[in-house]
Amino acid sequence: MAQRRSRGIKEFVAVNLFLAPSLIGFSVFYLFPFMVGFRYSLFDSPIDGSFVGIQNYLDLLANPVFRQAARNTLLFTGISVPLNMLLSLGLAMLLNRKLYARNWLRIGFLIPLVVPVASVVYVWQMLFDLNGSLNGILAGYGLEPRDWMESGSAMAVVIVVYLWKNIGYNMVLFLAGLQNIPVDYYEAASMDGAGSWKKWRSITLVYLTPTTFLVFIMSIINSFKVFRETYLIAGDYPNESIYMLQHFMNNMFKSLDYQKLTSAAFLMAVIIVLLVLLLFLAERRIGKSIG
């Protein structure tokens, strides 16, 4: 017993020594700044400020610009994430079959992950600019040109950019999940007379549940990263339909309004963490029912 306990202590120390560099880096560059920011959100000034509690959060929720940014972010996530999952699942199922140049197609869908964002933005600007390629094509059909990034169509443009950037990554995850489903299940279902739709619904979707939750979480997280592309295409103050929470926080930082910045950042972080925790709990419960 004493020898087993000593071995357990040694393993515990060894594990923590290996984890120490990552834990220190995470604490210094993420956890500590986050806590400092949360402290700023409870004071009326970052320097010699007075404690005001949740007043900064109440002022933030009453801010019409913040509410507009929150609505746009929620709308963008609500549209782009389901589209991303459906398209990436469809591509994964297509490329899971015997298809001509299948490996090249897989590589092609992964190219957006390795191309620098700044260089790709120029392509999108040339495509959607008032004098860009898309308007040139529309003019050839007798249609009026439009400034896509300064109209109600700006949200559709950002969704297209998000899908182009993230479909390949999610497709690979779904493809890995599809290839991990034993072929015996499909053969047994065929012997029982099950059709393609029933096999897809009862086998494919069921055993893709863990992968689907992972893709869902990654899609939500990546939807908050679309600010880079939107900022480079449309600037600090884009059309109001694509003014996101990241724009709001970036502009608050430039104006040195740390109270609104830290309050908005903490609210967004809490919402994301709660959403991810709920998804993990749901995934665990569904996984137990499948098991």
pLDDT at residue 53 in the model? 79
Q: Please tell us whether the domain made up of 56-290 is placed in CATH 1.10.3720.10.
A: yes
pLDDT at residue 138 in the model? 78
Whole-Å CA distances, 23 to 15, 26, 32, 37, 39: 12, 5, 12, 19, 22
pLDDT at residue 84 in the model? 92
pLDDT tens digits for range 218-276: 888 888 877 777 777 777 777 788 888 888 888 888 877 778 888 888 888 888 888 88
pLDDT tens digits for range 149-188: 777 778 888 888 888 888 888 888 888 888 888 878 777 7
Where does 192-257 have alpha helices with state H?
Answer: 196-199, 205-207, 209-223, 227-234, 245-254
CATH 1.10.3720.10 domain extents, the chain: 56-290
Query: Which residues does 148 contact at the CB level (< 8 Å), separation at least 6?
Result: 128, 129, 132, 134, 154, 157
pLDDT at residue 2 in the model? 60
Higher pLDDT, 6 or 170: 170
Query: At 37, phi and psi to the nearest 5?
Result: -65, -40
Whole-Å CA distances, 149 to 72, 134, 157: 15, 12, 7
What letter represents residue 221's amino acid? I
pLDDT at residue 151 in the model? 74
What mean pLDDT is reported for the chain?
81
Average pLDDT over residues 38-44: 81
Query: Which residues does 129 contact at the CB level (< 8 Å), separation at least 6?
Result: 135, 147, 148, 149
Q: Nearest CA to 65 among 202, 245, 197?
A: 245
Residue 143 and residue 199: Cα distance in Å, rounded? 46
3-state SS, residue 43: strand
Residue 34: exposed, middle, or buried by beta-carbon count in 10 A (0-12, 13-18, 19+)? middle
Query: At 51, phi and psi to the nearest 5?
Result: -70, 125
Is 60 exceeded by the pLDDT of residue 194? Answer: yes
Percentage of the chain modeled with pLDDT above 90: 2
pLDDT at residue 290 in the model? 60
Q: What is the pTM of this model?
A: 0.79
Q: State the DSSP code for 194.
A: -
Higher pLDDT, 200 or 99: 200
